[in-house]
Amino acid sequence: MDPSSSWNAPESWRSDGTRFSDISNVRTNPWTAVLAAKETRPGQTLDVIIKRFAIPRDVVQDPARITAERERFLAAAKIQKDLSDIHAKGWVQVFHLSEDPENTAFAMRKCGPSLKDYIDNRVTLSAKDLYGLVQSVLQGLHELFERNHRSHGNLKASDVLVACPGDPLPYKISDPASKGEEHSANDLYALGSILYHLIEQREYD
């Protein structure tokens, strides 16, 4: 079944007259269904991405695992929502978060392609682009560490997205791990690996 066909926005997201339309399925990952939609608020319409907690069919009879995975999903979403609430510049903005066990989800601003898309399509970035990329990611990592004293924990090319037009930074980061380290070594190594892949057009071995 198309995950978008049975989804309705939580009531708390619609309390101020906000409406969601043109909902479509983007992809389904383990434990997460990704939807695209238009969010219409009084006087404004935005393209958004909605990430829903989705239970795989093969674990529906394992309530302990479902609870643990839902807690991980929410922990990561809450970090990103908190950073959005303090207007962190390096992070994709999260507008809504639902902790409802029957409709656990969050909605965030739809950005441009990810660095994984660039890698898959062998896009070549200029030195200026690479500088902007490093500046943007380091800004986001710094904001996370200042706020939560932890690392991203799972930084991948798919977590770094081209920012929307007019944004002060050219890239945004997203999807932190539910838990991180009390240092940034793993994130910096991951950033270096992403840069190597972008520059050399191959993975670091």
Residue 116 three-state SS: helix
Full-model pTM: 0.90
pLDDT at 4: 54
Q: What is the pLDDT of residue 93?
A: 97
The reported pLDDT for the residue numbered 42 is 85
Q: In the chain, which residues have pLDDT < 70?
A: 1-5
Please report the pLDDT score of residue 2 as a whole number: 54
CB 88 within 8 Å of CB 143: yes
Render pLDDT for 144-179 as a digit per residue (tens, 0 to 9): 999 999 999 999 999 999 999 999 999 999 999 998
- Tokens 């839902």 belong to residue: 70
